[in-house]
Amino acid sequence: MQNISGDREPSFTSPIKNISVSLGREAVLSCFVANLGDFKVGWMRAADQTVLALQGRVVTHNSRYSVINEEMKVWRLKINNIREADRGCYMCQINTTPLKKQIGCIDVHLPPDILDTESSKDITVTEGQNASLYCAASGNPQPRIIWRRDDGNPIITKVNNNKTRRSDTVEGELISFHNVDRRQMGAYLCIAKNDVPPAVSKMIHLIVNFAPNVSILNERSVHVLENSHIDIDCSIEASPRTVSYWIKEPLGKSFQQSYENPLQNVLQESEKYNISETFNSYYKTSLKMRISNFSESDVGIYTCIASNMMGRANSTIRLYEIKIPTTTTTTTPKPTTTTTIRTTTLRTTQATTTTTVEPTTMEITSTEPQLEFVTFNPELNEIPGGDPYINRPHLNVAYSTSRAAESSFHHVWMIGLMSFTKLLLLFR
């Protein structure tokens, strides 16, 4: 075949660029040709030499393939909805003698996929043993594997001499645990990701079995006020989860008998006992009990018991009652105060001119509190010559700082005034 465009033969003006396409997208390979003339351009698959298109006509029975020609200079092979099977190299060929050809390759990017059959299942070990978790994934590019805990806590691994290392994430297909302890129990996420979304994950559980540990968070002995309530909190660590309950025994009784036959004294939910169980983590449980209206009959030894297939454990607390003291109200009678007042009475007879002065004693009884107050005590002296005369009394005064004395002071003066008035009437 001759080139009617001149003596120059067809040639490729630039190489075909390799491309990478995500699964399901569109892929286009471009072949740049000069001086094509009467020659033809064809596309074929390099691996099996399958002819896909000749000039502008597609010869394969696949609707996803098409060819675009731009002014006889650019020949584009277009593949829609790219599939993994489309990965490979494609040849652009000019039917010269010898044939001229160049190759361009398509890389199909695949999102990550975790291979369940090759990855670890949930694993159960006894505390102190070793354990390993493995996660296999496929994808293009090859996915990276990252481990993290589902609960957000750091991953605990142990290195030389059981030195603990804490990490938010661990990278790699395999994660190993040496001398496993309960803190490492949990759900681990194997996350596979590459440049093609979406990332995928698989959850693998690491179960660590161990015998129960039981402790009561209250004091070992507690004194409770009668008619009040008390909350007892029992903390349990165990795996698998335990059968947990409370029992009560009187003070002084041997616990061994009750421990061997605990179901005889198991406390049940009632108005007296409010019992609740809360699961705080894979291996932590809280068994709480409230005792209401505490009385003498509630005094005793309370034991929290937990058991599983690995063993049994218990913890006790002693409860005592504090009696509320009885209050008796007594009324003390007010003291009685007697005040003695001396007064003077004049008595006159017709036969003589002698006047006799006789002292008179009056008693005033008061139920007021015994307080100090001002007291006037007249002192009478006989007058020489027998003349009727009433002397001016000398006053003995006791001072008080209490206002309560005022009323008694007024009573004394009133009586004194009455006696003086009586004397005046006798001299008329």
Which letter does DSSP use for residue 184 in this model?
A: G
Q: Are 292 and 274 in contact (CB under 8 A)?
A: yes
DSSP characters over 264-280:
GGB---SSSEEEEEEE-
Contact 328, 231 (CB under 8 A): no
> Which class for 121: exposed (0-12), middle (13-18), buried (19 or more C-beta within 10 A)?
exposed
Q: Kindly tell me if the per-residue pLDDT of 276 is higher than 60.
A: yes
When mean pLDDT is compared across 168-177, 271-280, 325-334, the lowest value belongs to 325-334
Closest to 315 in 3D by CA, of 246, 240, 223? 246
* Closest to 135 in 3D by CA, of 143, 38, 153: 143
Q: Which residue has the higher pLDDT, 238 or 367?
A: 238
pLDDT at 109 over 60: yes
| Alpha carbons within 13 A on the beta-carbon side of 315 | 18
Q: 124 pLDDT band (50/70/90 cuts)?
A: very high
For the chain, give the percent of residues with pLDDT over 70: 72
CB atoms within 10 A of CB 172: 12
Residue type at position 185: M
Please give the pLDDT value at position 399. Answer: 34
Give the pLDDT confidence score for residue 279 in this predicted structure.
94
| Average pLDDT value over all residues in the chain | 81
Q: Helices in 71-185 by DSSP H: which ranges? A: none
Q: Where are the beta strands (DSSP E) in 115-228?
A: 123-126, 131-134, 137-140, 144-149, 155-158, 164-167, 170-171, 174-177, 186-193, 200-216, 221-225
Using CA atoms, how far apart are residues 135 and 194, in angstroms rounded to an integer?
Answer: 15
- pLDDT confidence of residue 332: 59
pLDDT level of residue 344 (50, 70, 90 thresholds): very low
CA distances from 255 to 236, 249, 289, 412, 427 (A): 20, 8, 20, 80, 103
CA-to-CA distance for 258 and 303, rounded, in angstroms? 10
Backbone angles phi, psi at 331, to 5 degrees: -110, 120
- Strand pairing class (41-45; 164-167): unpaired
Mean per-residue pLDDT, 39-45: 95
pLDDT at 350 over 60: no
pTM of this structure: 0.65
